[in-house]
A and B are shown apart, each in its own frame.
Chain A
Amino acid sequence: MSRSEVLRLYRKMLKYSSMFSDYNFREYSLARVKESFRENRLVGLQKGICLLTRNRFLEDKEAITKAIEKAQKNLEMLQRQAQISQMYKGERLVIEAETPSKK
């Protein structure tokens, strides 16, 4: 998978994370997605050669595909759960902004 596809996956996950209607799930999901993409940034790293360079010979392709598959599954879960969260909205928490900028 190319760099731009991974970034597209990342952006999609952030988009659905921000769609949770519950404050706690929303904040957790956003933070967690960012954390795991940051952690896995160096998956397949060998001898200092990064996924983001053109040199693919020394990548650990299996580890990368595994991480990406896991992210795909999580993305599908986020899509479903964000939808359900919108269907069964609870009330706002007392500390949430009056006019929520994200939906």
Chain B
Amino acid sequence: MSAKIIQKKLFSLPSFICAIRRLPAVQPVRSLSTSVQDITKDTGSQNHNSTLSNEEATTAAALQQVTTSYSKNGYALDVTERTVLGRPVYLDAQSTTPVDPRVLDAMLPFYISQYGNPHSRTHAYGWATEEAVEKARASVAALVGANPKEIIFTSGATESNNAAIKGVANFYKERKRHIITTQTEHKCVLDSCRHLQQNGFEVTYLPVNKEGLVNLEDLKNAIRPDTVLVSIMMVNNEIGVIQPIEEIGKICREHKVFFHTDAAQAVGKIPVDVEKMHIDLMSISGHKIYGPKGIGALYVRRKPRVRLEPIINGGGQERGLRSGTLPAPLVVGMGAASEVCMEEMERDYKHVSKLSERLISQIQSSIPHVVLNGSPVHRYPGNVNFSFAYVEGESLLMALKKVAVSSGSACTSASLEPSYVLRALGVDDDMAHTSIRFGLGRFTTEKEVDFTVELAKRHVARLREMSPLWEMVQEGIDLKSIQWTQEH
């Protein structure tokens, strides 16, 4: 009797729930688990409190696996290798962001059944896809306060930067040959300017002050009658500093110079209005706003018209400025990401500010001799760049393998050169080497931030204990007064 009732209940379950259990899970191709040399447990730091909650116990267990035991001379006593199960906590929102489920949901139909080419004018596949692409264009335009006709889709912010800088420079190259930019720009902007220098242009690289902000007087003095373009990024990707874009825009408008800004890290996170900020050209990146990788946009002002020489020639798509078939799924994804950003901007900003305050205050209160790089006031809270003094940079990065963070060193080059952005700020080489950039985003949780702080605390303390420089500092010796080499 009871078996029949149970059977009845099982069959009344909706079918797709059963489907979930039937489908095989796809195994991840490459394990992201960290492999950690588990050196024998440090008896001093064992947890005596046995009444931890489940959550705390797991975190404690995860942390305990990296505690170490060293002899008096600093040699590891016992080395056993152990794979730590689990992928690192993601705190690198400036390099890329995960694709929001809402965005993926909007993109999938265009990979499955709506696969038409948006430029096909003769059939319904093309018309449907074109409609979706135009809707996405309107979303991106609404996010920045522009007209949809002023948005051009590209393959990313790097292409947008290249197109803007080289395009404008080459169009006006008969009469105007001067470009102004800053020393802390993204590599693609600096490299485009270098390329133009090789073709006969002159480029002024404005310095930044200790806080990372550009001086408006320097900018005014640098503008010449033959200046065609000023390119200054809105939010710096390494230190999170926000430049005074509105004032810069006003200056450029007065002097009739085109103003380009690389807003890849700013759009969708802080309110951006191209009219209010007097922006003529703007680069937007898809994968920084929880959208797919491989798509970006360039805003090109139409009133007053900004003329560009296209860097990609072809069938004349995108107003002739960027030919090529538009990747409909990616474009729709970017549109959906823009819509989500518009809806969630306020909530995200509050969330990220709260996490950022928590991270900064906890690190500054529990670890001495830590410097926050960049202006503490004019910044985007989700980008936190700390330099830990008297700690070896590479060792700290290796120790923080359970957290996915980025170092201040040039992430684009394989060399161990300290970051040019930090050098432009005037940060010493040794501090630049130990800088770590924590990136907080929409999906970061408080637990992840607490875990990161705990880990950083332990490892910075451990590495400092091994450092002779730290010993000297503790004894009160001023390191700058030491003569390291002998003069003969």
Inter-subunit contact B62/A94 (CB<8 Å): yes
Q: Is A5 part of the contact surface with B, judged by Cβ < 8 Å? A: no
The 20 listed contacts between A and B (C-beta, < 8 Å) are A29-B101, A77-B102, A86-B25, A87-B26, A89-B26, A91-B33, A91-B85, A91-B86, A91-B87, A93-B86, A94-B84, A95-B58, A95-B59, A95-B62, A95-B89, A95-B447, A95-B451, A97-B54, A97-B55, A98-B61
Q: What total of chain A residues lie within 8 Å of the partner, measured CB to CB?
A: 30
Residues in chain A near residue B114, CB distance under 8 A:
none
- Complex Cα distance, B344 from A35, in Å, reads 12
Mark contacts of A1-35 with chain B using CB atoms, 8 A cut-off: 1 yes-contact digit, 0 otherwise: 00000000000000000001011110111000001
| A97 touching B32, Cβ below 8 Å | no
A79 to chain B: which residues have CB within 8 Å?
A: 16
A92 touches B20 (CB 8 A): no
A-B contact count (CB 8 A): 85
- Residues of B contacting A77 with CB < 8 Å? 101-102, 105
Task: Report B-chain residues with C-beta under 8 Å of the C-beta of A24.
Answer: 90, 98, 443-445
Least Cβ distance of A28 to chain B in Å? 5
B359 CB to closest chain A CB (Å) equals 15
Chain A residues 45 to 60 lying within 8 A of chain B, measured CB to CB, are none
Residues of A within 8 A of B55 (CB): 97
A-B pairs, 5 with minimum CB distance: A94-B86, A24-B443, A81-B101, A91-B87, A77-B105
Chain B residue contacts of A83, Cβ below 8 A: 16, 19-20
Query: Given contacts A79-B16, A89-B26, A94-B34, could you give 15 more A-B pairs where the C-beta distance is less than 8 Å?
Result: A24-B443, A24-B444, A27-B443, A29-B101, A35-B347, A81-B105, A89-B28, A91-B87, A92-B87, A93-B89, A94-B88, A94-B402, A95-B89, A96-B58, A98-B58
Residues of A at the B interface (CB closer than 8 Å) are 20, 22-25, 27-29, 35, 77-81, 83-98
Interface string of B421-465 (1 = CB under 8 A from A): 000000000000000000000111101100100000000000000
Cα of A23 to Cα of B85 in the assembled complex, Å: 15
Known: A91-B33, A95-B451. A85 touches B101 (CB 8 A): yes
CB pair B443–A89 under 8 Å, yes or no, is no
Question: A29 — which chain B residues lie within 8 A by C-beta?
Answer: 101
In B22-56, which residues have CB < 8 Å from any A CB?
A: 23, 25-26, 28, 31-34, 54-55
Complex formed: what's the CA distance from A22 to B23 in Å?
17
Of the listed residues B32, B58, B86, B101, the one surrounded by the most CB atoms of chain A closer than 10 A to its CB is: B101
Contact between A90 and B28 (Cβ–Cβ < 8 Å)?
Answer: yes
Query: Complex formed: what's the CA distance from A81 to B108 in Å?
Result: 11
B311 at the interface (CB under 8 A from A): no
B104 within 8 A of A: yes
A88 touches B26 (CB 8 A): yes
A24 and B442 alpha carbons, distance in the complex (Å): 9
Cβ 8 A contact of B25, one of A23, A27, A87: A87
Closest A residue to B23 by CB, please name it.
Answer: A87
Q: A5 → chain B, closest Cβ, in Å?
A: 18
Kindly list chain A residues whose C-beta atoms are within 8 Å of the C-beta of B84: 94
Shortest distance from the beta carbon of A25 to any chain B beta carbon, whole Å:
6
A contact residues around B447 at 8 Å (CB): 95
Q: Across the interface, name the chain B residue whose C-beta is closest to A97.
A: B58
Do A94 and B101 touch across chains, with their CB atoms under 8 A apart? Answer: no
Chain B, residues 98-139, CB within 8 Å of chain A (1/0): the string is: 100110110000000000000000000000000000000000
Interface centre among A23, A35, A83, A88 (most CB of B within 10 A): A23
CA distance A24 to B23 in the complex (A): 23
Docked-complex contact B85 and A92, CB < 8 angstroms: yes
The reply to whether A84 and B58 contact each other, CB–CB distance below 8 Å, is no
Q: How far, in angstroms, from A32 to B451 measured CA to CA in the complex?
A: 22
Q: Cβ of A85: which chain B residues have Cβ within 8 Å of it?
A: 101
Chain A residues near B451 (CB-CB < 8 A): 94-95
A29 to chain B, nearest CB (A): 8
| Chain A residues with CB below 8 A from B25, complex form | 86-87, 89
Candidates B87, B102, B104; contact of A90 at CB < 8 Å: B87
Cβ–Cβ < 8 Å partners of B85 in chain A: 91-92, 94
Residue among A25, A27, A85, A96 facing the most chain B CB atoms (10 A cut-off): A96
Contact A96 B86 (CB under 8 A): yes
Within 8 A of A (CB), among B200-228: none
- Distance in angstroms from B65 CB to nearest chain A CB is 9
Q: Of all chain B residues, which has the CB nearest A92?
A: B86
Partner among B23, B90, B104, B443 whose Cβ is within 8 Å of the Cβ of A28: B443
Which residues of the partner chain B approach A20 to less than 8 Å between Cβ atoms? Answer: 101
Docked-complex contact A25 and B26, CB < 8 angstroms: no
Question: Which residue of chain B is the closest to A22 with respect to CB atoms?
Answer: B98
Is B54 a contact partner of A91 (Cβ separation < 8 A)?
A: no
Q: How far is the CB of A73 from chain B (nearest CB, A)?
A: 10
Q: Which chain B residue has the least Cβ–Cβ distance from A80?
A: B105
Q: Which residues from chain B contact A93 at a C-beta distance below 8 Å?
A: 86-89
User: Chain B residues near A89 (CB, 8 Å)?
Assistant: 25-26, 28
Across-interface contacts of B445 in A (CB, < 8 A): 23-24, 27-28
How far is B366's CA from A16's CA once the two chains are assembled, in angstroms? Answer: 39
Looking at B19, B28, B31, B86, which has the most chain A CB atoms within 10 Å of its CB? B86
